[in-house]
Each structure stands twice: as structure tokens, then as C-alpha cells.
């Protein structure tokens, strides 16, 4: 999803963004920031989100794909939603069109790396703490790795190149249909259906909804479909919550409505 970015100069001071499920009541976020401040002092640290639902890799993947692309080239994105920490999944650095991603290979990079990417395992001592705790790789592997990239250490020395294996439960999208891939803070249901394939209306969970422009185009409390901020079709309830109204899980299929089908 990053290929649309125009080429531009990299900023003088490295930026490291953080996306985690660490929450905002413990010391985990602070520990990661402290390591970065200590190992790469001339770095700007930017919080993306720390309240990713616990262990919800697919949620993280969508957040990353819809926010990280806005940053300048050269930005380093640390993504740690890591229920398998210390287990079988690998720790990786991924390069995608001038952006760096650092975290466990568990599917969180599935969207950003779906077209083209290079990935390296994080094995070299220069990219890890001397002593690695088995349940906090955010502090002991991913923060040091991000700091090493920020300091300009050659990423090809981090470890062998690897092929990413992390995947999302709903796999790749087939042309002409979308899936609900994200439920946001407002209860909006975000799909991966591009407007160009949706036509004038979509069907979801037995409802056929015309594509409108914005919330005020329907009455308060009504369902609507529109082109969301990710430039895909979204389903919402004006001044309400579509997740509560429809109660459908992520992965639910959303289809273009048949031409001439009456709007219900």
C-alpha cells in the first residue's frame, strides 16, 4: 500500500514510530522509549497507538497500513503485538518502499509488505540487547534494532534475508468482493473493497446500502456506506455504532449490490 508515496528527501533526524498492545498504564512503553533514547539519542519517537486490542495482530496490521505510509521516507516503524513472544515466530526488519518496519513476523506486516519487500532476521548482536528477556522482545530486540537502523548501522548485517510467513486469517482479497477487515474506535466497519469495485451500493449482512458521501447524508441512527479514510468502503451508523448494530465478525464478506437491486 506504500507504492503510491511520492519520492522525497529523508529528514535529518530519524523518526521511530511505536504501535503496540502494551496499554498506557504500565512501564512497557516507557522502557521501549528509554532504550531508544539511550541508544539513538538524536531520534524523534512518535506514538501511533498503544491500545491495540491484546494480541490482535490483524488489528495492528490495519493500523500500520493506514498510518505509517503518511510518514516521510526513512521512518522506522516498530510494531509489537506479539502473543507468541519468545516462541516460534521470527524477529524481523522489513524494508518497504523506503520505510522500515521492525517487529515479530506474525502477520502485522501482511498489508504493508504484500506487494514488495525485503526482510532480514534480527540476529546480530548490534541489533539486540546483550541480555534478552524471553517475554519482552519490544525492549530487548525491537527497540535496539530500530535504534541501530536510526544510527545508520547497515541493515544487511542484522542477519540473513528471510521470507515473511505471517498471514492474516482472511487471506488475500479476490477481485469484486471485500471483507470487513477492521472495526475502529467508533464502531465503524472498515472493508478492503475499493470504491471502483463497489459501484453505487454494497450488500453486507443482509443490508443493501447506497454509497453516500458522509455521515450527514443519512438521518441520525441510520446505517450508511461511504468511501472511508483508507479509500475503501466503510459501513457506519450516524451518531451510533455499526459494530453493535450489525454484530458481524471481521472477515465477513461485503459485495457490490446487483445493478437495479432495490435499496432496502
CA–CA separation, 71 and 74 (whole Å): 8
Site for a second copy in 51-110 (CB under 8 A): 51-55, 59, 62-72, 75, 83-88
Residues paired with residue 78 on neighbouring β-strands, in sequence order: 18, 102
Minimum distance of a second copy from residue 159's CB (angstroms): 20
Nearer Cβ to a second copy (169/176): 169
Half-sphere exposure of 181 (CA within 13 A, CB side): 29
In the block, residue with C-alpha cell 508515496: 5
Residue 7 in the binding site for a second copy (CB under 8 A)? no
Indicate whether 237 belongs to the interface with a second copy (CB under 8 A). Answer: no
Dmax over CA atoms of the chain, in Å, equals 65
CA-wise closest residue to 127 among 175, 93, 87, 104: 93
Q: Which is nearer to a second copy, 30 or 176 (CB)?
A: 30
The count of chain residues that interact with a second copy, using the rule CB under 8 A, is 74
Interface pattern 108-137 for a second copy (x via CB under 8 A): -------------------------xxxx-
Identify the residue among 154, 157, 214, 263 touching a second copy (CB under 8 A). 214
Q: How far apart are alpha carbons 198 and 254 in whole angstroms?
A: 9
Task: Report 151-190 residues binding a second copy (CB under 8 A).
Answer: 184-186
Amino acid at each position: 500500500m506504500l507504492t503510491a508515496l511520492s519520492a522525497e528527501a529523508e529528514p535529518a533526524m530519524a523518526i521511530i514510530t511505536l504501535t503496540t498492545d502494551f496499554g498506557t498504564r504500565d512501564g512497557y512503553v516507557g522502557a521501549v522509549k528509554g532504550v531508544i533514547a539511550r541508544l539513538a539519542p538524536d531520534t524523534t519517537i512518535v506514538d501511533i497507538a498503544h491500545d491495540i486490542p491484546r494480541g490482535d495482530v490483524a488489528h495492528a496490521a490495519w493500523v500500520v497500513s493506514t498510518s505509517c505510509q503518511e510518514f516521510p521516507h526513512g521512518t522506522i516503524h516498530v510494531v509489537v503485538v506479539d502473543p507468541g513472544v519468545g516462541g516460534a515466530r521470527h524477529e524481523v526488519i522489513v524494508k518497504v518502499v523506503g520505510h522500515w518496519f521492525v517487529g515479530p513476523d506474525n502477520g502485522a506486516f501482511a498489508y504493508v509488505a504484500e506487494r514488495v519487500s525485503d526482510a532480514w532476521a534480527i540476529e546480530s548482536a548490534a541489533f539486540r540487547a546483550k541480555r534478552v528477556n524471553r517475554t519482552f522482545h519490544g525492549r530487548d530486540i525491537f527497540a535496539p534494532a530500530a535504534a541501530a537502523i536510526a544510527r545508520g548501522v547497515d541493515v544487511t548485517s542484522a542477519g540473513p534475508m528471510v521470507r515473511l510467513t505471517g498471514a492474516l486469517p482472511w487471506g488475500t482479497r479476490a477481485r469484486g468482493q471485500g471483507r470487513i477487515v477492521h472495526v475502529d474506535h467508533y464502531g465503524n466497519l472498515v472493508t478492503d473493497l475499493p470504491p471502483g469495485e463497489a459501484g453505487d451500493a454494497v450488500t453486507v449482512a443482509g443490508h443493501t446500502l447506497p454509497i453516500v458521501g458522509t455521515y450527514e447524508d443519512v438521518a441520525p441512527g441510520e446505517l450508511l456506506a461511504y468511501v472511508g479514510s483508507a479509500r475503501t468502503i466503510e459501513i457506519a451508523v450516524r451518531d451510533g455504532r455499526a459494530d453493535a448494530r450489525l454484530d458481524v465478525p471481521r472477515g465477513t464478506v461485503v459485495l457490490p449490490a446487483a445493478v437495479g437491486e432495490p435499496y432496502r
